[in-house]
Homo-oligomer: A and B are copies of this chain.
């Protein structure tokens, strides 16, 4: 289970660690947004490009050798949103997706078609959206000009436009309650040997996936071993804005608290093992006391080999 930028790095590391395993990536789609009439699925695309070696490794999202002619023109036309960067190469993906969705195809089928270009050299790898239903995360922020002094903005606006600077007063995942898991999701979870929860944002990446009705239950009931990975290292996220959103759901910004938030399967949670960074060792006992096994490793995803190393370490803790 993975979000976008961090999730894609994690997935590359998992692939490096287990190159011959049947690997299914269940991606968050609650970051999805419609801009300029195009349906954009940032996490699906980031993962697809990264696993297909077409990503921009410096930015972490979007396509390598990207150009921006269309966006320049849209800005010249004065058509917003100007804060959402659509590269030319990336835009082609959205055109294909939007046209296929408009023709009645489900997001999972569209994703399979797009992934066919990027991932076909790895036939044991598959990429599934968490759901075919429209789910979009909104962040509640203070706005003195709005009625009631607060307003909801799309997660992309909160993050890309406002750089997560406004305090998040709440997180509303529109459509989540009514969503159903995409075809294959429940089956893969049930049949898996190992379920890995990426060190992605617990609020807006992993949270929505586990929030699709049926998915957390499938994780709980699976015969797989479930291993989670902390994205908070030494009290701060390596990537993204989890530290700005965790308070909105009442979770402290530290690795142990997130492990306890996911919780042990033995007590209604989703984890068997929680993997924390070396610098968070001191908080491990509290996690173990709650019923989780703890793996400790250097969790900096500096490259796929480094990521593969900590994945191996965590799996060894799970399967000694």
Complex CA gap A168/B51 in Å reads 49
Question: Are B79 and A91 neighbours in the complex by a CB distance under 8 Å?
Answer: no
Which of B69, B71, B72, B117 is in CB contact (< 8 Å) with A77? B117
Task: Report the Cα distance A92→B77, complex, angstroms.
Answer: 9
Q: Number of contact residues on A: which range applies?
A: 20 to 34
Cβ distance A55 to chain B, nearest Cβ, rounded Å = 14
- Asked if B99 and A73 sit within 8 Å, CB to CB, the answer is no
A74 lies within 8 A of chain B by Cβ: yes
Judge if A126 is at the interface, Cβ distance under 8 Å: no
Interface contact B95-A38, CB-CB below 8 Å: yes
Contacts of A102 in B (CB 8 A): 37
User: Contacts A77-B117, A117-B76 hold; do A67 and B88 have CB atoms under 8 A apart?
Assistant: yes
How many copies are assembled? Answer: 2
Which residues of chain B have C-beta atoms less than 8 A from A74's C-beta?
92, 95-96
Task: Tell me if A89 is interfacial: C-beta within 8 Å of chain B.
Answer: yes
A16-74: which residues lie under 8 A (CB-CB) from chain B? 36-38, 67, 69-74
Chain A contact surface mostly: helix
Query: Do A92 and B114 touch across chains, with their CB atoms under 8 A apart?
Result: no
- Asked if residues A36 and B77 are in contact (CB atoms below 8 Å), the reply is no
Chain B proximity of A4: nearest CB distance (Å):
20
Give the contacting residue for A89; candidates B70, B92, B93, B99; CB below 8 A.
Answer: B70
Chain B residues contacting A77 (CB-CB under 8 Å) are 92-93, 96, 114, 117
Q: Which residue of the partner chain, among B36, B71, B91, B93, contacts A99 with CB atoms under 8 Å?
A: B36
Q: Are A92 and B70 in contact, with the CB atoms below 8 A?
A: yes
Considering the chains assembled together, what is the distance between the CA atoms of A36 and B70 in angstroms? 15
- Which of B72, B88, B98 is A70 in contact with, Cβ under 8 Å? B88
Do residues B95 and A69 form an inter-chain contact, with CB atoms below 8 A?
no
A residues at B contact (CB < 8 Å)? 36-38, 67, 69-74, 76-79, 88-89, 91-93, 95-96, 98-99, 102, 114, 117
Name 13 interchain pairs, CB-CB below 8 A, sorted by A.
Answer: A37-B95, A37-B99, A38-B95, A69-B69, A70-B89, A70-B91, A73-B88, A73-B89, A73-B92, A74-B95, A74-B96, A77-B93, A79-B99
